[in-house]
Amino acid sequence: MKAHVVTYGCQMNEYDTHLVQSQLVSLGADMVEDIDSADFVLLNTCAVRGKPVDKVRSVLGELRKEKAKRPLVVGMMGCLAQLEEGQQIARKFEVDVLIGPGSLLDIGKALESNERFWALNFRDELHGHIPPAPQGKLQAHLTIMRGCDHHCTYCIVPTTRGPQVSRSPDDILRELDMQLAAGVREVTLLGQNVNAYGVDQGARLAGYPSFADLLRMVGASGIERIKFTTSHPMNFTEDVAQAMAETPAVCEFIHLPVQSGSDRVLRRMAREYNREKYLTHIEQIRRHMPDAVLYTDIIVGFPGETEEDFQQTLDLYDEVGYDSAYMFIYSARPGTPSYKHFTDLPREVKTERLQRLIAKQKDWSARRFAAKVGTVQEVLVRGDAYSPGFLEGHTRGQHPTVVPKAVGAEGAGIYQVRINHATPHMLYGQVVDAQGRPLEELPQWTPEAAALSSPLQML
């Protein structure tokens, strides 16, 4: 069998794709790069917003046409597969295999079946499963927990991924050891709410460290760079900031979703914290890490959001000064309390507010990125950029960075880079040695040079 997996959504889905691909390979399947070459096409779906659901509908429509022309098995996995909405879509488009986020180890049974196969249970053995390390990559994801015990009114995750289940620290460290042996140099710890690690359904698990102590344990493994996502402010504690500051491998980067700057909207979202509490966390982070890079999530146009509420979000953005943000128009998702009980705002109102927030974010990103010009940053280079002769990667603070190839910097690796130019979304630099000297004399980045390489802005 030749198999191809299409992935939508978050880093957790990317991790799950790797897990399922490793299962497929162990069963004798060949992973291919495109749909046209595949006998089995599996869509790893997202249900957090409406747009990725619409995309899945479109792709499934094309695959149904393709099934009429040749033998083809079509499958869905991920969050959408767990929902009644996804199951209705699966029936409509004649999907053969449907696997929820808790049933990924059933992929073998699915392929052995000669009829439609659906598996939508939450399987305990999944949490102890250790997939093989990715090969030939400097970066890897490592799931430390699954599910979520919070019930934000807009969020479908507790329904799709179930209650929180923390993986044992032994399993986490064993998987990390395998990744290190495979050459991984940067690991991102994943969970719906990593700050709550070790406290499942409100109870502290015997023998499990806190998330802060887990960071210290991972940092002692020999890994060079550690990041994590995502953090819920309700469970964030100052000892996490302390552990980040005290553990050299932990990068000075934190993604702390705020969603709104209005206490009234936060209550309607059931976020369980207020603006003052959130800003206390920001103060704690900056006290321990003055140079911390802060990213956030913001939902624009939540039901009932007034112009005053939105202005409070803009004001909070100025108060924090984020390096970047993931900004979304509120998308009503069937099965969530906000979908059932709240009335959506007109789309034109949401769109106009989003444009104002984007302008705010671009202004702050321009300031934060410009501040890096003249500094030397540690950059993990993944490989070739869009433009020939250049490499792309990211700093410890997650700033996308482009460098020209130079003697001693021909491909993937971790390099010291002097930043010569910045845009609101990209840093441009030159690889230097330990004394800050260029490895090879090359033209400095200028706005004109950046404009000539405009495809790089897409990274």
Query: What residues form DSSP beta bridges with 300?
Result: 329
Instruction: Quickly list DSSP for 22-72.
Output: HHHHHTTPEE-SSGGG-SEEEEEE--SSHHHHHHHHHHHHHHHHHHTTS--
pTM value is 0.91
Give the per-residue pLDDT at 444.
Answer: 52
Burial of 253 (0-12, 13-18, 19+ CB in 10 A): buried
Number of residues that make up the chain: 459
Distance separating alpha carbons of residues 400 and 453, to the nearest angstrom: 15
148 is in an annotated binding site: yes
Give the model's pLDDT for residue 112. Answer: 85
10 is in an annotated binding site: yes
What is the per-residue pLDDT for 448?
A: 52
In contact, 299 and 330? CB cutoff 8 Å:
yes
Residue 79 marked in a binding site: yes
Each of the 459 residues of the chain gets a pLDDT tens digit; together they read 999 999 999 999 999 999 999 999 999 999 999 999 999 999 999 998 888 999 999 999 999 999 999 999 999 999 999 999 999 999 999 999 999 999 999 998 888 887 788 888 877 678 889 999 999 999 999 999 999 999 999 999 999 999 999 999 999 999 999 999 999 999 999 999 999 999 999 999 999 999 999 999 999 999 999 999 999 999 999 999 999 999 999 999 999 999 999 999 999 999 999 999 999 999 999 999 999 999 999 999 999 999 999 999 999 999 999 999 999 999 999 999 999 999 999 999 999 999 999 999 999 999 999 999 999 999 999 999 988 889 999 999 999 999 998 877 888 999 999 999 999 999 999 999 877 777 765 545 555 554 444 433 332
Rounded Cα–Cα distance for residues 18 and 339 (Å):
32
The 3-state DSSP class for residue 421 equals strand
To the question of whether residue 251 is assigned a binding role by annotation, the answer is: no
Interior angle at CA 227, CA 244 and CA 165, nearest 5: 95
Tokens of residue 405, six digits: 């190839």
> Which residues of 205-246 form beta strands (DSSP E)?
225-229
Q: What is the pLDDT of residue 265?
A: 98
| Domains of the chain, earliest start first | 2-121 (3.40.50.12160), 125-366 (3.80.30.20), 376-458 (2.40.50)
Q: What is the pLDDT of residue 459?
A: 29
